Amino acid sequence: MKGFGSRLWVIGFLSLFVVLFSPGRANPELLSLQDSLGQWALPGKNYAGWRYSPLNQINTTNVQRLRLVWSFSTGALRGHEGQPLVVGNTMYLITPFPHTVYALDPTDGSIKWRFTPEANPQAAGVACCDVVNRGVAYAEGKIFFNTLDGWVYALDASTGKVIWKVQHADPSKGETITAAPLVVKDKVIVGISGGEFGVRGRVAAYNINNGQRVWLYYNTGPDAEVGIGPRFKPYYTWLRGKDLGATTWPGDQWKLGGSTVWGWFTYDPELNLIYYGTSNPGVWNANLRRGEATITNETQTRWANLWSTSVIARDADTGEMVWALPMTPHDEWDYDGVSESILVDLPIGGQLRKVLVRFDRNGFSYVIDRTNGQILAAKPYATVNWASGIDLSTGLPIRNPEKGTGQGKTTTDVCPSLLGAKNWPPAAYSPRTGLFYVPALNVCMDWTGTEVSYVAGTPYVGAVTLMRPGPGGHTGELIAWDPVRMQKVFEIRERFMNWSGVLATAGDLVFYGTLDGYFKAVDARSGQVLWQAKLGSGVIGNPMTYTGPDGRQYVAVFSGIGGVPGLVVIQDAPPDDPYGVFGVVGAVGDLGRYSRQGGTLYVFAVER
Amino acid sequence: MLNRKGIRRNRRWNFGLPSLLVVLALLAAGLALSQTQTAKEVKCTPEPAKLNPYTGNPKAVQEGRQLYFKYNCSGCHSSTAAGGMGPNLVDAAWLYGGTDACVFESIKMGRPKGMPAYGSLADDEIWKIIAFLRSLYRGPQEKAVW
């Protein structure tokens, strides 16, 4: 008896060992969770970044009876840009910096545990766009999150106790972390923010069990540091060559070259590739990033400032770059490539193609072959005048020479503005309608290049900018977009820029929030607003939905204004000085009359 | 906290004096700590000092504007100091005091919640930047007591 017992113990221990240390295990777990009906275990619901839920208990016929079930004050005032996760019978969320992570009961919001890491307050001074955090990640009974002051944490999901922590970014150099991590297999993938501080963008993978770094690659610099080797096969010939991440910059400018990773990661398990966008090149003043006075269609490749504003595909195990594609080579307008790459298979030319679809900050919607980085289609989804189109034979924009920027020069009426035709808030995709639902901006700008010097830990920008509403006078739109026909199906105009993510559901509903604090449910096919509620503060978070342990479908969203447009409210910028907040006041100067600060999670369900 | 009851109890335990000393020492340390923290934030002269030789001097204001851009102040506070990543500097609300001495110290020494220290700037440059900021002031006139 005793012998059998100890043998059982050994078997148990061995299987625990196998469970804990087999590298692939988190992958099947998350692969199964991403397909579960009622759980929301990844920031974008699935690895493809659809933000689509197969739940339909709340649908077009009963959404009028959607009522508040519970709400939760986070105690934080700054912008709430992320989304909660629901795994098992627990909801997990993180507040802006200085952060607190909460584990809540998903039916009533009662607190299971909370954790507040130590915080370095200096990090707030190097956060360009409010002290935000875009959410936690889950795998194997652990919660992973990044902090603005540069740490990556793993907590025990059932107790909130720290399992490990590592420092990944250094605020004294202007580096912060705002993006949500993504867990792939046994690795947690993390980027850095700080494109306005002359940092050098990079991405790294840490082992989920012990926090050891598995790989780290930069987005600028020589091939070896970028992860470019024999597997790198970009589609367009001009992207092939040695050390282009350094030679497409003058001198050593690539060392201050931004190209950070602060948006969403997506992952294709079959190709084993992770996808992300890189930010604007550092510094905004484009004269410092080229060897000639102005840039033309011919010279934009010479001074492309690679690999800024790019979609990058890396092997999830090794980090090797497999392909890359710049959206705005030699960016002159802060057309940061933060937009998420949403993975879908689309019928194109009579064939089902593995593509990624992105709504870039530069105003073009791209359909890209995700196996090799070939652009299959590119069309403007908003007012665009810096380029007349994308040349599909080279992947290059056809630039409008009148809209180039330079030091000591004012370029007027550039569309879109530096905030883009869409910023970081993620779009959603519904496989039922085949449409993308895009939180879009309708803002144009004037840009004056100014002298600037690099001082570590201070902004490295060199531009004075002024924004105004685009054609029509509104500054926000929710767009439904057909990715096969490459055209708009409907739009809903908003007075203020759409700065919240979007949720699509099998109830044929689309949810989104507005800066003036409305949370709306829209018919996914007609675009008719079926329900709305005015929340306590502006909505810049991403709505999500889940099934509670009680079998009820809930929809949750953060309210809590902030982010770039919210700085108008946070800093109390005078509404009559359009240059305030980098010229954002010129577009949404009266926002402070419609929304004040304060973070709350709101959770709704259909009245029973 | 240090009421008579507490002291009596200490006396009964027969190590009253050392205990009291420890408590006093702790209190003093706490007070010192809170004083350092407070000092860090408002060590500058709280009342108006009118230290800046350049206030209202148009040439210095213009030079201050150039310095404001050169040292990337505009990157945080925006081109017209109306606020951005960092606070708006044109109203009467100052996190660390709005007198000349306080603003000078904020620039020279930095502040804990994100303002970097510009210790390498010449005093003269800092005063010109402050003169530029004063020229942009939009708050009530009665609060313009620097």
Mind giving me the DSSP string for A514-539?
-TTSEEEEEETTT--EEEEEE-SS--
For chain A, the average pLDDT equals: 95
CA-based nearest distance A173→chain B, Å: 11
Any idea which residue has 């030679």 for tokens? Answer: A247
CB nearest to B80's CB, from A125, A129, A577: A577
Q: Which residues of A touch B (CB under 8 A)?
A: 121-129, 196, 450-453, 455, 457-461, 464, 567, 571-574, 577, 579-583, 585
Give CA–CA dist A427/A344, Å, rounded.
13
Question: ipTM for the complex?
Answer: 0.89
Mutation target vs A (from B70, B73, B85; most A CBs, 10 A cutoff): B85
State residue A179's pLDDT score. Answer: 98
Instruction: Establish whether the linkage from the previous residue to A416 is cis, with ω within 30° of 0.
Output: yes
Which amino acid, one-letter code, is at A478? L
Global pTM exceeds 0.95: no
Give CA–CA dist B34/A497, Å, rounded.
43
User: Which of A8-12, A264-268, A585-589, A596-600 has the least mean pLDDT?
Assistant: A8-12
A340 within 8 A of A49, measured Cβ to Cβ: yes
Which amino acid, one-letter code, is at A321? M
Say if the Cβ atoms of A574 and B72 lie within 8 Å.
no
Give CA–CA dist A13/A17, Å, rounded.
6
Say if the Cβ atoms of A455 and B113 lie within 8 Å.
no
Mean pLDDT by 10 residues, chain B (146 residues): 36 41 42 36 64 96 96 95 96 93 94 92 97 96 87
Tokens of B101: 């001495």
State residue A69's pLDDT score. Answer: 98
CA-based nearest distance B28→chain A, Å: 26
Q: What is the dihedral of CA B43, B49, B54, B56, to 10 degrees?
A: 120
Q: What is the pLDDT of residues A396-406, one digit of tens each?
A: 999 999 999 99
Burial environment of residue A532 by CB neighbours within 10 A (0 to 12, 13 to 18, 19 or more): middle
Say if the Cβ atoms of A572 and B91 lie within 8 Å.
yes
Mutation target vs A (from B72, B125, B133; most A CBs, 10 A cutoff): B72
Give CA–CA dist A200/A328, Å, rounded.
18
Q: What is the pLDDT of residues A479-537, one digit of tens each?
A: 999 999 999 999 999 999 999 999 999 999 999 999 999 999 999 999 999 999 999 99
CB nearest to B75's CB, from A129, A196, A567: A196
Give the full edge-to-edge strand order of the sheet including A600-606: A66-73, A600-606, A553-559, A544-547
Under 8 Å CB-to-CB from A167, ≥6 apart: which residues?
A150, A151, A152
CA-based nearest distance B45→chain A, Å: 24
State residue B71 phi and psi, 5-degree precision.
-95, 15
Catalytic residue, from A196, A332, A336, A340: name it. Answer: A196
Q: Looking at beta carbons, which residues of chain B come within 8 Å of A571?
A: 82-84, 86-88
Which of A464, A406, A517 lies closest to B82, judged by CA? Answer: A464
Please tell me what DSSP assigns to residue A27: H
CA-based nearest distance A465→chain B, Å: 8
The residue in chain B having the minimum alpha-carbon distance to the alpha carbon of residue A572 is B88
Partner A contacted by B76 (CB < 8 A): yes
Q: What is the pLDDT of residues A303-337, one digit of tens each?
A: 999 999 999 999 999 999 999 999 999 999 999 99
Q: Looking at beta carbons, which residues of chain B come within 8 Å of A582?
A: 78-79, 84
**Is-catalytic flag, A280?**
yes
Say if the Cβ atoms of B114 and A123 lie within 8 Å.
yes
Tokens of B49: 């000092």
CB nearest to A581's CB, from B84, B90, B114: B84
Say if the Cβ atoms of A121 and B113 lie within 8 Å.
yes
Mutation target vs A (from B40, B41, B88, B106; most A CBs, 10 A cutoff): B88
**In angstroms, how far is the first alpha carbon of chain A from the final one?**
55
Say if the Cβ atoms of A580 and B87 lie within 8 Å.
no
Which of A404, A411, A414 lies closest to A384, judged by CA? Answer: A414
Which of A393, A391, A394, A385 lies closest to A362, judged by CA? Answer: A385
CA-based nearest distance A563→chain B, Å: 10
Q: Which residue has the higher pLDDT, A252 or A12?
A: A252
Which of A136, A124, A219 lies closest to A171, judged by CA? Answer: A124
Q: What is the pLDDT of residues A445-473, one digit of tens each?
A: 999 999 898 988 899 999 999 999 999 99
Give CA–CA dist A552/A603, Å, rounded.
12
Tokens of A389: 């189109």
The residue in chain B having the minimum alpha-carbon distance to the alpha carbon of residue A452 is B70
Say if the Cβ atoms of A122 and B83 lie within 8 Å.
no
Q: What is the pLDDT of residues A59-85, one digit of tens each?
A: 999 999 999 999 999 999 999 999 999
Say if the Cβ atoms of A127 and B85 lie within 8 Å.
yes
The residue in chain B having the minimum alpha-carbon distance to the alpha carbon of residue A576 is B82
CA-based nearest distance A233→chain B, Å: 38
A91 within 8 A of A104, measured Cβ to Cβ: yes
User: Which of A238-247, A419-428, B110-119 has the least mean pLDDT?
Assistant: B110-119
State residue A28's pLDDT score. Answer: 85
Q: Which residue has the higher pLDDT, B39 or A2?
A: A2
Tokens of A607: 């009245």
Q: A137 - beta bridge partners?
A: A144
pLDDT higher than threshold 70 for residue A14: no
A499 within 8 A of A560, measured Cβ to Cβ: no
CB nearest to B72's CB, from A459, A572, A574: A459
C-beta neighbour count of A223 within 10 angstroms: 16
Interface of B with A in 77-136 (CB under 8 A): 78-80, 82-88, 90-91, 93, 112-116
A362 within 8 A of A328, measured Cβ to Cβ: yes
Catalytic residue, from A149, A186, A225, A334: name it. Answer: A334
Q: Where are the alpha helices (DSSP H) in A216-305?
A: 223-226, 244-247
Mutation target vs B (from A284, A453, A458, A465; most B CBs, 10 A cutoff): A458
Burial environment of residue A1 by CB neighbours within 10 A (0 to 12, 13 to 18, 19 or more): exposed
The residue in chain B having the minimum alpha-carbon distance to the alpha carbon of residue A125 is B114
CB nearest to B85's CB, from A128, A451, A580: A128
Say if the Cβ atoms of B71 and A122 lie within 8 Å.
no
Please tell me what DSSP assigns to residue B56: T
pLDDT higher than threshold 70 for residue A431: yes
Give CA–CA dist A245/A235, Å, rounded.
16
Positive or negative torsion for Cα A284, A286, A288, A289: positive
Strands A600-606 and A66-73: antiparallel
State residue A15's pLDDT score. Answer: 47
Any idea which residue has 């969403």 for tokens? Answer: A264
State residue B50's pLDDT score. Answer: 80
CA-based nearest distance A129→chain B, Å: 6
A10 within 8 A of A16, measured Cβ to Cβ: no
Q: What SS3 state is found at A33?
A: helix
Catalytic residue, from A46, A146, A219, A280: name it. Answer: A280
Say if the Cβ atoms of B74 and A577 lie within 8 Å.
no
Confidence bin at A16 (pLDDT 50/70/90):
very low
C-alpha pair distances (Å), B57 with each of B53, B54, B62, B92? 8, 5, 9, 21
- DSSP result, A138-155: EETTEEEEE-TTSEEEEE
Say if the Cβ atoms of A573 and B93 lie within 8 Å.
no
CA-based nearest distance B79→chain A, Å: 6
Tokens of A327: 């959206």
Residues in chain A: 608
Say if the Cβ atoms of A455 and B71 lie within 8 Å.
yes
State residue B125 phi and psi, 5-degree precision.
-65, -40
C-beta neighbour count of A468 within 10 angstroms: 16
Q: What is the pLDDT of residues A350-376, one digit of tens each?
A: 999 999 999 999 999 999 999 999 999
CB nearest to B82's CB, from A122, A455, A579: A579
Say if the Cβ atoms of B85 and A129 lie within 8 Å.
yes
